[in-house]
Structure 1
Amino acid sequence: MLRGKTILLLRPTIRVGAQSTGGMFEANGTWTEEARRNIAVALANVQERLDNRVVAAPEAYGDANRLAEEYGSLFAAVSASVVNYQFFKGNRLPTKKRDNKADVFDWSVGPGVADLPGARDADFALFIYDYDAYGSTGRKLLQVVAMLGPRIAISSGVHTGYAGLVDLKTGDLLWLNADTHMGGDVRTPDGAEKRVRELLQGFPGSKPDPDTAPAR
């Protein structure tokens, strides 16, 4: 069980915007900054439950900042692949079918993760990715019209989140929580608190969440 280790909390990759009538993502800087602040506060509130020493990654500039951003994007891509090709039975790759039967979880972001700012003083890195596209008025109207007319199911809003623990010595992904239908409006403090609790549910060695733990 993971206990007494140092976990490097990397700056979360956060994208928040609107979903246009046609389904395209339209970034919203104000919403993204609101979400960034709210998620940062929520993460600070739950760090004690992780039962390990959690340190925030140092502020990075220039090449170091680009490297951190690249690994944030790489983590999101690897997480999406895990969901599509190991978690989802319909798309499971032949090798991942064997892995599942043998209870093997074999994914990595590569050993270069050891070069991230702050990595030398930590054992693991906690990556967090959040993507929210809130359905616009036009998208919601299209959803209603599609249901009343040709009865076509059209979704309004996309809310995806990944949280993963990576071994900083090897780059191996040790734990992943992924959800493509996340709850909580990250533009509000309460919503961000709910989102972070969902993202870190089942974190190795963490203490039970008092808000979700079953009553005795």
Structure 2
Amino acid sequence: MMARVVRLIFTALILFITFDSQAVTAQERTATRDGFVLEENSGKKILVFRPKVSVGAQSTGGIFEPNAEWTEQAKANIEASLLEYQTKLGNEIIVAPEVYGEDAVIVEEHMALFAAIADAVIEYQFFIGNRLPTKKRENKEGVFDWSLGPSVVDLPGADQADYALFIYNKDMYGSTGRKILQVVAILGAGIAVTSGEHKGYAGLVDLKTGDILWLNADGQMGGDVRDQEGSQKRVRQLLEEFPGSDIEEEK
């Protein structure tokens, strides 16, 4: 009896790993606005904002539980990795200034808007069945017309650059209870319950119009951002296919 239970659990885990790997592959996407080209050494300036990073645990019920220690460690790791890869972006980089008060609020609002739009792109454009009528590629070949709006001109440092690079990162690591629920759900009702969520979005935005010119948005990225090696993998994935860069896709 015990051997049968062990075999069932093992089979369920294999099925989940297979399903989860397929989901990761399906979600990873990049897109470029039609007609946009950024050549290497074009003379354009890119304003890089400090990444928005949040890390925590995923409760048994799937609720995000922030972990301050993990978040601070991930912020330090990601910022260090981003500094390393900035030199490979192929154009002049300007680090966004430290912000306080009203300026900090403006940056936070635009970062939240960027994350919300990236979520919408994944949900309604990258997945064919869910596409909004106005965003469907079959309506207009290659259409990618998402925007943060003209308020980007108010961002601190916007008057010094042509484009802005936004990076948003959110990681939920499945708790023990969540992992147990994951197995029980498969063995019982045969329902797939995910354990953990690893969102990573990077976007290049026109600082005159607010148009998103390039986007890399993935709902399940690799690399454990709580350690240095994992954060390097995450940042590399975020910047894959960045226009004008020499950052190659990780094999």
TM-score category by the smaller chain? over 0.9
How far did 1:123 drift? 0.6
Q: For 1:14-163, what aligned pairs fall within 5 Å after superposition?
A: 14-98=53-137, 101-163=140-202
Cα separation, 2, equivalents of 1:132 and 1:154: 17
Conservation of the 8 A alpha-carbon contact between 1:39 and 1:186: yes
Larger Rg: 2
Where does structure 1 lack aligned partners over 5 or more consecutive residues? none
How far did 1:149 drift? 2.9
How far did 1:97 drift? 1.4
Where does structure 2 lack aligned partners over 5 or more consecutive residues? 1-36
Hey, which bits of structure 1, 4+ residues long, moved more than 3 A? 98-101
Cα separation, 2, equivalents of 1:98 and 1:207: 28
How far did 1:192 drift? 0.4
Conservation of the 8 A alpha-carbon contact between 2:88 and 2:245: yes
Query: 1:187 corresponds to which residue?
Result: 226
Q: Deviations over 1:185-207 (max 9, x none)?
A: 00000000000000110100111
Task: Report the residue type matching 1:158 in the other structure.
Answer: E
| Structure 1 pair 4–99 and aligned structure 2 pair: CA distance change class (3 A) | farther
Task: Report the residue type matching 1:41 in the other structure.
Answer: A
Over the matched positions of the two proteins, sequence identity in percent amounts to 61
Instruction: Give the 3-state SS of the residue equivalent to 1:4 in structure 2.
Output: coil
| Structure 1 pair 166–100 and aligned structure 2 pair: CA distance change class (3 A) | farther
Query: 2:250 corresponds to which residue?
Result: 212
TM-score (norm 1): 0.94
Conservation of the 8 A alpha-carbon contact between 2:54 and 2:170: yes
Query: 1:174 corresponds to which residue?
Result: 213
The root-mean-square deviation of aligned C-alpha atoms, in Å, is 1.5
How far did 1:56 drift? 1.2
Conservation of the 8 A alpha-carbon contact between 2:239 and 2:247: no
Conservation of the 8 A alpha-carbon contact between 1:4 and 1:51: no
